[in-house]
């Protein structure tokens, strides 16, 4: 073997920025066998081409492909790399990472919106803003927000979302639907799904798209909504009242603040006066 055409393991480590211990580990896994091992010194030598193999291994690491799966993309002699298969797998994983990051950014965006709303509420006491429709799962509930029964209900909803294979949304709390003379209360958890959920899903409903009035309170009983929104609750239109525990930029877990929203009459309706 002409070692003048090969590079030492130290040189390979320097060229690739990968520690010698990692290169030896790759050899142990069978994904980076040396081109030549000196029978006297035991030193490992590699071909220049194997610099690209190490680069590909690092790509697998960055994409989250387990090293033990790398052999699926390398020929038996370690000199062939099935870049087509690796590209397909890498594209799949990169897409999943992008979707995961987008979901996290959406969550952070919702938190920032709540912070912004909180600042506005501190300045004005109440604000009005449009909110889009949000699908949610519900369980009948007729108690205060911060109770053992409430937390049991929310836990059941999280378990149900997990069983359905969908993601929980940002909003959770207590909702009260006032439809004519009938009023019903539920604990709710919004749901994020790429596909419409089956219409017969138990407890499935929607928080309606509407313009809502928002305010903050230390009260934890949505049943007191008539005291918080006396003008709205006295008017004859179908309304939705939502109570969630608010996340502030600086939150005191021992003294929770609640954000309460009440839908306004639709613009142009007789009640919109």
Greater confidence (51 vs 266) lies with 51
What confidence tens digit (pLDDT) does each residue in 33-81 have? 898 998 888 899 999 888 988 888 888 888 888 877 777 777 666 557 7
Rounded Cα distance, 101 and 111, in Å:
15
Confidence (pTM): 0.68
Close Cβ partners of 80 (under 8 Å, ≥ 6 residues apart): 74
Among residues 243, 139, 143, 223, the alpha carbon closest in space to that of 183 is found at 223
Residues 169-179, mean pLDDT to the nearest whole number: 93
- What's the farthest any 2 CA atoms get from each other in the chain? 96
Cα first-last separation, the chain: 93
Rounded Cα distance, 266 and 272, in Å:
7
- Which domains does the chain show, CATH number per domain? 3-81 (1.10.1660.10), 106-263 (3.20.80)
What confidence tens digit (pLDDT) does each residue in 220-255 have? 888 888 999 999 999 999 999 999 988 766 666 677
């Amino acid at each position: 073997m002409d070692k003048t055409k090969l590079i030492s393991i130290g040189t390979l480590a320097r060229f690739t920025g990968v520690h010698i211990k990692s290169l030896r580990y790759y050899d142990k896994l069978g994904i980076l066998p040396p081109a030549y091992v000196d029978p006297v010194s035991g030193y490992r030598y590699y071909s220049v081409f194997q610099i690209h193999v190490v680069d590909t291994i690092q790509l697998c690491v960055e994409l989250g492909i387990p090293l033990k799966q790398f052999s699926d993309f390398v020929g038996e002699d370690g000199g062939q790399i099935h870049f087509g298969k690796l590209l397909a797998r890498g594209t799949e994983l990169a897409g999943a990472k992008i979707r995961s990051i987008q979901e996290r950014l959406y969550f952070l965006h919702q938190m920032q919106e709540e912070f912004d709303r909180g600042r506005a509420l501190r300045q004005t006491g109440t604000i009005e803003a449009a909110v889009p429709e949000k699908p949610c799962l519900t369980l009948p509930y007729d108690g205060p927000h911060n109770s053992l029964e409430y937390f049991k209900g929310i836990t059941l909803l999280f378990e149900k979302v997990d069983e359905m294979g969908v993601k929980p949304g940002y909003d959770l709390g207590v909702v009260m639907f006032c439809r004519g003379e009938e009023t019903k209360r539920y604990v709710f958890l919004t749901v994020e799904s790429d596909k419409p959920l089956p219409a017969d899903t138990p407890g499935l409903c929607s928080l309606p798209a509407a313009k809502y009035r928002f305010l903050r309170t230390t009260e934890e009983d949505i049943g007191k909504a008539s005291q918080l929104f006396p003008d709205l609750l006295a008017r004859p239109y179908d309304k939705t009242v939502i109570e969630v525990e608010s996340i502030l930029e600086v939150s005191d877990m021992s003294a929770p603040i609640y954000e309460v929203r009440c839908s306004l009459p639709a613009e142009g309706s007789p009640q919109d006066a």
